[in-house]
Chain A
Amino acid sequence: MAILILRRLVQMALIIVVASFLLFLIFDTDAFKKKTAIAELGGFGVSSLSEADYQKWLDEKGLNVPFYQRYGKWLGDVATGDLGRSYEKSTAVGPLLLDRLKNTGILAFWVFALMIPLSLVTGVLAGMREGSAQDRTLSFIAVFTTSIPEIATAILLTVIFALGLGWLPAKSAMIGGFNWRQLVLPVLTLVIYDFGYVARMTRASMAEVMTSQYIRTAVLKGLPFRHVIVKHALRNALIAPFTIIVLQLNWLLSGVVVVEVFFEYDGFGKLLLEAALFGDIYVVQACTLVAVVIAVLSQIISDVGYTILNPRIRFA
């Protein structure tokens, strides 16, 4: 098993290296470098930048050296935590990103804290008796909530709870410091969308286990239904949802973009989008790199967890 995990780690490291290389390659193109040059030198657009000015800027920045040197320097910078400067916000990218990640982290924590129990319970209850009224109702709710995109959920929640009932603030910019009431709508939006997906996966896994022959064996051993579910079914049925939940971290990094932008919550997603629209190259690059690292880490956790949870692999 140790070998298996080690192999995955090596694979993941390789993925990060290749992904970072791709990222560097994309942001090392002339189009992006010119955008940066304009941001630094001032100007109105790529067309207004003269070739001579651009070349001079490249020389100053040490960007006229061969490709591998540039890549090496970039890697070194990244390794020492120097992620460049944000021109839009004129600060170093590193601390800025860290601050925003912290905000997104708070959001993510509450999303997971609500979503995991809710979706697991729903999925297990639905999958326990496949085809029953209970299953059909829960399954329909799950399909329904996953079918409403985050942007629509955000709108509906805002209209009802903020604009209509006035219970909660419509925006979550947290201008006057941290305020939990501003956190409610973004968290709810993400939970509602994601809950359905995880619940459906849990249901499918549970339903499959319930039709398996070893459940039949357990029932025909004369065990009470509760005992069959808790001791025999759950152990097997929750292996797949576990890995799916961990992989939701990757999904969450997508989901937060639209939610944070809509609610004006100062997190990682909003930072990335604003940087992309503004042409704040270093910020985009750093955000993407961080996103990939987080995604890969979640994959490793998911893989290792799966290996540990599944005795067929653990004791192979």
Chain B
Amino acid sequence: MNEATNEPLSAAPVSTSVPVLECRDLSISYFTRAGEIPAVVDFNLKVHAGEAVGIVGESGCGKSTVALAIMQYMGKNGRIMAGELKFMGRDMRAMGEAELQGLRGSKIAMVYQEPMASLNPAMRIKDQLMEVPLHHEKVGEKEAFERALAMLADVKLPDPRRIMEAFPHQISGGQQQRVVIAMALLSNPALLLLDEPTTALDVTVEAGIVDLIREIASRFNTGMIYISHNLGLIRETCDRITVMYSGEAVEDGTVGEVFNAMRHPYTQGLFRSIPLPGADKNARPLIPIRGQLPLPHQRPHGCNFGPRCDHFKPACDAGPIPMRQVPSQPDHRSRCIRFEQIDWNAPPAHADTGEPIPLGPRVLEVDGLKKYYEIANRSLLAMIRGTAVKTVKANEKLDFDAHEAETVAIVGESGCGKSTFAKVLMGLETATEGRAVLGNRDIAATPVQSRKPQVVGHLQMVFQNPFDTLNPSHTVGSQIARVIRKFDVEQDREKVKDRVMQLLDMVKLPRDFYLRRPRQLSGGQKQRVGIARAFAGNPRVVVADEPVSALDVSVQAAVTQLLMEIQRTNRTTLLFISHDLSLVRYLADKVIVMYLGHLVEQGTTDEVFAPPYHPYTEALLSAVPVADTSVEKRRIVLEGDIPSAVNPPPGCPFQTRCQRKIGRICETEYPPLRTFGEGHRILCHIAPEELEAMPPVFTTAEERAAE
């Protein structure tokens, strides 16, 4: 580091006892047409130098509001109503605009959720970086440039000089986020706010950023606030944690205390509703939190979590509930009046452990399926060279089969070709080569328009984005009814309506949703309607494209459970497309790992999650943030970004990022498909013995003890 950053942080005297930031009884409200909406109530937080505090909670819990309030940037209609906000002992609420300007970006810096949107599209990276020292420390152009360049190197960006000259759209998402982090660190801030900094990134890219963040805390002695909805990420980056629910902190303490001995039912509910990669579905079923988040103006009296809590007693809704310290743990506090009475080690009350169900005959067989696109390259160079038309290999030789009542998970990051495969299967695209046999009919080359209604009805889809999945202009009932008539399940008006009602029952929605419009539904409810619609035609195969990734954690569990339940009772084959390996482990029978259109590994869930691994699977597993403190994992961070499918690397598709690359052969030759056991296949040059000798990525405490 250069010298300027080693200067004292502030003119104010800094002693170790003064926290970098202290929020005391902070209340924040927004003022809308409907009146005052309290976004955050009675919020306390302390951050010391070099300490990382995590704030975790679901959407609408007020965690981002806290971050913007600390920055004193709440727009026209947001206001701090009460409480203290102290930065290094000085009251921020009393500061003028000029003083705040001096703090922002210099003593307090922020990293945002969407790196692309946070960078000015019309300015070069260097200008955006250099501004920080130019304005806050009044250094010369040359020094500002040098410091920006050094900081880019510090955040481990390759070729910093090129990136300095680039515009934001010319670099990848992961690189953009590193630039934003560099921008935040340039003035060596005392406090760094990170608002979901990895949510918009792919898992293996996320792992790199998380590593960088951990390094920052130790190296720069910065106080950090890490806001996330992901408990695993908090565990990997933070020392302390505050759990928020519906505008209030419900529990805070050190990561160890809260993760191992939580003292609030909401925290416990959160942990029980997320899948942990250490356990499978039969050992530890997901338990959703019933009900849904209350809207800010519909919060219940007393405990906000009351209506959803299993331990609810009449006293809970009597009045406001204070935060109380947990006995013998000075740092650990909970906003539950009954935490002493609750037996925290009791097994969950309504855990329905599903027995593994026997698989039926083969329903779907995919054999050598290829999908190539041709895209016109309109650059002058390409036209001269005669390579104006480029072939993009979106799917390269996919082989697998799926049985009745089986769940096959297709795993991969963006650009791996899983969505293209879904489109081919659904008949929106036709395969370039190969077969996809549904029942006894090859559908790979038949567009959906030429398929028989029954065939179309037998193959349906659940979509990713709950806000897009339903047409906002039609009622819920009419959208499901259309499917029933279209697939000729029923035609009679009354019978169709009966069937819609049955389907609403099946997805556990009240029958009066029939006449509702999608905008009156929450995300989870919309997704349930989406599931009802997919199952309306009694499908044999359902393709679910990341069906829960856009939902809140507690709702995810409920929707996942529902989907599996329906699948079990109907003995439907489920193709589950996901990037979330912990979820996949929890629900899949068979796993297919894809990278850049290639199928790199497939096998049963147990086979894929245990060695031998494909190096990519190994990295993917390692990138999963784990919220279970008893699980240790080997950290593998991949270099660089996922290559574009338009310009795939020669040889092995994974060779540019592979941590186990063995040499020239990886760059020149397409790897062989090695078979282990019955159906476990890995596409790799590495010798089978070496693959089998890999240590497992996850080890539990018991396993470590046994060694």
Q: How far is the CB of B254 from chain A (nearest CB, A)?
A: 29
CB within 8 Å of A: which of B590-649?
none
Interface membership of A61, Cβ < 8 A: no
CB within 8 Å of B: which of A174-208?
none
Cβ–Cβ < 8 Å partners of A220 in chain B: 71, 73, 104-105, 109-110
CB within 8 Å of B: which of A220-274?
220-224, 227, 231-232, 235-236, 239
Interface membership of B675, Cβ < 8 A: no
Distance A223 CA – B117 CA, assembled complex (angstroms): 18
Q: A237 — nearest CB in chain B belongs to which residue?
A: B122
Cβ–Cβ < 8 Å partners of B118 in chain A: 213-214, 216-217
Q: B121 — nearest CB in chain A belongs to which residue?
A: A312
Interface membership of B366, Cβ < 8 A: no
Q: How far is the CB of A45 from chain B (nearest CB, A)?
A: 56
B380 touches A213 (CB 8 A): no
Cβ–Cβ < 8 Å partners of A315 in chain B: 167, 169-170
Residue of A3, A216, A221, A316 most packed against chain B (CB within 10 A): A221
A2 touches B135 (CB 8 A): no
B104 touches A222 (CB 8 A): yes
Given contacts A2-B380, A3-B379, A213-B114, A219 and B104 within 8 Å (CB-CB) = yes
CB within 8 Å of B: which of A291-316?
310-312, 315-316
Cβ–Cβ < 8 Å partners of B379 in chain A: 3
Q: A218 — nearest CB in chain B belongs to which residue?
A: B120
Interface membership of A212, Cβ < 8 A: yes
B122 touches A222 (CB 8 A): no
Cβ–Cβ < 8 Å partners of B169 in chain A: 311-312, 315-316
Cβ–Cβ < 8 Å partners of A311 in chain B: 121-122, 167, 169
Residue of B73, B101, B106 most packed against chain A (CB within 10 A): B101
Cβ–Cβ < 8 Å partners of A235 in chain B: 120, 122-123
Interface membership of A131, Cβ < 8 A: yes
Cβ–Cβ < 8 Å partners of B114 in chain A: 213
A236 touches B101 (CB 8 A): no
Q: How far is the CB of A305 from chain B (nearest CB, A)?
A: 14
Cβ–Cβ < 8 Å partners of A224 in chain B: 101, 135
A214, A222, A232: the one within 8 Å of B101 (CB): A222
CB within 8 Å of A: which of B366-405?
378-380
Q: B102 — nearest CB in chain A belongs to which residue?
A: A222
A212, A217, A222: the one within 8 Å of B136 (CB): A222
Cβ–Cβ < 8 Å partners of A239 in chain B: 122
A131, A227, A236: the one within 8 Å of B122 (CB): A236
CB within 8 Å of A: which of B72-105?
73, 76, 100-105
Distance A9 CA – B218 CA, assembled complex (angstroms): 57
Cβ–Cβ < 8 Å partners of A213 in chain B: 112, 114, 117-118
A232 touches B105 (CB 8 A): no
Distance A223 CA – B71 CA, assembled complex (angstroms): 13
B119 touches A217 (CB 8 A): yes
A7, A223, A236: the one within 8 Å of B135 (CB): A223
Residue of A220, A227, A316 most packed against chain B (CB within 10 A): A220
Distance A7 CA – B380 CA, assembled complex (angstroms): 12
- Mark interface residues in A29-72 (1 if CB within 8 Å of B CB, else 0): 00000000000000000000000000000000000000000000
B117 touches A212 (CB 8 A): yes
Distance A311 CA – B167 CA, assembled complex (angstroms): 7
Q: A233 — nearest CB in chain B belongs to which residue?
A: B120
CB within 8 Å of A: which of B461-504?
none
Distance A7 CA – B170 CA, assembled complex (angstroms): 23
Residue of B118, B120, B121 most packed against chain A (CB within 10 A): B120
The A contact surface, by secondary structure, is helix
Interface membership of B183, Cβ < 8 A: yes
Cβ–Cβ < 8 Å partners of B122 in chain A: 235-236, 239, 310-311
Q: B187 — nearest CB in chain A belongs to which residue?
A: A222
Interface size bucket, B side?
Answer: 20 to 34
Given contacts A3-B379, A217-B112, A312-B169, A223 and B131 within 8 Å (CB-CB) = yes
B104 touches A221 (CB 8 A): yes
Q: B117 — nearest CB in chain A belongs to which residue?
A: A213
Distance A7 CA – B169 CA, assembled complex (angstroms): 23
Distance A310 CA – B123 CA, assembled complex (angstroms): 10
B73, B121, B123, B136: the one within 8 Å of A216 (CB): B73
CB within 8 Å of A: which of B108-147?
109-110, 112, 114, 117-123, 131-132, 135-136
Q: A310 — nearest CB in chain B belongs to which residue?
A: B122
B73, B132, B180, B378: the one within 8 Å of A3 (CB): B378
Given contacts A220-B71, A222-B103, A223-B105, A232 and B123 within 8 Å (CB-CB) = yes
Distance A2 CA – B119 CA, assembled complex (angstroms): 27
Q: How far is the CB of A294 from chain B (nearest CB, A)?
A: 29
Cβ–Cβ < 8 Å partners of B380 in chain A: 2-3
Distance A232 CA – B135 CA, assembled complex (angstroms): 14
B71 touches A214 (CB 8 A): no
B131 touches A236 (CB 8 A): no
CB within 8 Å of B: which of A10-37?
none
B73 touches A219 (CB 8 A): yes
Q: How far is the CB of B74 from chain A (nearest CB, A)?
A: 11
A7, A221, A231: the one within 8 Å of B132 (CB): A221
Q: How far is the CB of B454 from chain A (nearest CB, A)?
A: 46
Q: How far is the CB of A309 from chain B (nearest CB, A)?
A: 8
Q: A309 — nearest CB in chain B belongs to which residue?
A: B122
Q: B106 — nearest CB in chain A belongs to which residue?
A: A222
Cβ–Cβ < 8 Å partners of A219 in chain B: 73, 104
Q: How far is the CB of A315 from chain B (nearest CB, A)?
A: 6
Q: How far is the CB of B65 from chain A (nearest CB, A)?
A: 14
Distance A236 CA – B168 CA, assembled complex (angstroms): 14
Cβ–Cβ < 8 Å partners of A227 in chain B: 135
Q: How far is the CB of B192 from chain A (nearest CB, A)?
A: 12
Distance A217 CA – B100 CA, assembled complex (angstroms): 14
Distance A216 CA – B117 CA, assembled complex (angstroms): 10
Distance A187 CA – B100 CA, assembled complex (angstroms): 48
Distance A7 CA – B132 CA, assembled complex (angstroms): 41
Q: How far is the CB of A168 from chain B (nearest CB, A)?
A: 43
Distance A222 CA – B184 CA, assembled complex (angstroms): 11
Residue of A219, A222, A310 most packed against chain B (CB within 10 A): A222
Cβ–Cβ < 8 Å partners of B135 in chain A: 221-224, 227
Q: B132 — nearest CB in chain A belongs to which residue?
A: A221
Distance A221 CA – B111 CA, assembled complex (angstroms): 11
CB within 8 Å of A: which of B15-58?
none
Distance A117 CA – B379 CA, assembled complex (angstroms): 38
Q: A314 — nearest CB in chain B belongs to which residue?
A: B167
A214 touches B121 (CB 8 A): yes
Distance A126 CA – B9 CA, assembled complex (angstroms): 39
Distance A225 CA – B380 CA, assembled complex (angstroms): 43
11 extra A-B contacts, CB within 8 A, seeds A131-B76, A222-B101, A223-B131: A3-B378, A214-B117, A217-B180, A219-B104, A220-B110, A221-B131, A222-B105, A222-B136, A223-B135, A235-B122, A236-B120
**25 interchain pairs, CB-CB under 8 A:** A2-B380, A214-B117, A214-B121, A216-B112, A217-B118, A217-B119, A217-B183, A219-B104, A220-B104, A220-B110, A221-B131, A222-B100, A223-B135, A224-B101, A235-B122, A235-B123, A236-B120, A311-B121, A311-B122, A311-B167, A311-B169, A312-B169, A315-B167, A315-B169, A315-B170
In order of increasing CB-CB distance, the 8 nearest A-B pairs are A222-B105, A221-B105, A222-B104, A213-B117, A235-B122, A214-B120, A217-B118, A311-B167
